[in-house]
Amino acid sequence: MTGESRSGPARGPVVLVGLMAAGKTTVGRILATGCGLSFVDLDHEIERRAGMSVTELFASQGESAFRDLETAASLELAPRSDVVVAVGGGWMANSTARKAWPDARIVWLIVSPAAAALRVGSNPELRPLLEDADMHRVLERLLAQRLPAYAEATYTVDTENSGAGEVAAEIAHLLGLRFST
């Protein structure tokens, strides 16, 4: 695992971005616990607001309704700096949501489409953008579309061959946060 950093703000929420199945939620929980911070999974917050799962929201109201709720949740969380937030794979492309957190320390958790497809495994129904039978192809397309936005992250950490605890420790190190397991 190698972490890279671009010059960025020292404070602000820690926002984990990346392709679905990059480990954002799992790593986020470990990082928050290890650093004494709060944790928010933005998809879970959207589900709470919508009163239905993300999959149901996509099916009944479409992606634009999801993005509207994503933006509203981002704006509500904006004042917080004591939080690790796992966002959906497309959050970086939502400029309104991103602008809500100008001081965010954005960490791109890098995973290949092949590894992400293996991680999703036999539960693609939990991922509304994976309706196509060829998960790998869909993930490659999503990564290609989102790559320019992901590249704007302040930090990058490769998650391909590391456990979630190792990734969380690496992020804490990159951010200069005290981390205990």
Q: Answer whether residue 29 is part of any domain.
A: yes
pLDDT of residue 131: 55
* Distance of alpha carbon 128 from alpha carbon 41, whole angstroms: 17
* Distance of alpha carbon 167 from alpha carbon 23, whole angstroms: 9
* Secondary structure element (H or E) that encloses residue 40, with its range: strand 38-41
Which residues constitute the domain of residue 27?
3-175
Q: Answer whether residue 24 is part of any domain.
A: yes
Q: Is the pTM of this model over 0.85?
A: yes
Number of structural domains in the chain: 1
pLDDT of residue 133: 62
CA distances from 11 to 24, 141, 159 (A): 20, 33, 24
pLDDT of residue 55: 87
Q: Answer whether residue 46 is part of any domain.
A: yes
Give the CATH number, domain containing residue 61.
Answer: 3.40.50.300
pLDDT less than 70: residues of the chain: 1-10, 122-133
Beta strands at 105-110 and 155-158: parallel, antiparallel or unpaired = parallel
pLDDT of residue 41: 96
- Would you say 71 and 96 are in contact if contact means Cβ atoms under 8 Å apart? yes
Q: Answer whether residue 180 is part of any domain.
A: no
Residue whose pair of structure tokens reads 């060829």 in the numeric block: 134
* Distance of alpha carbon 14 from alpha carbon 61, whole angstroms: 29
Q: Answer whether residue 181 is part of any domain.
A: no
pLDDT of residue 40: 97
pLDDT of residue 179: 96
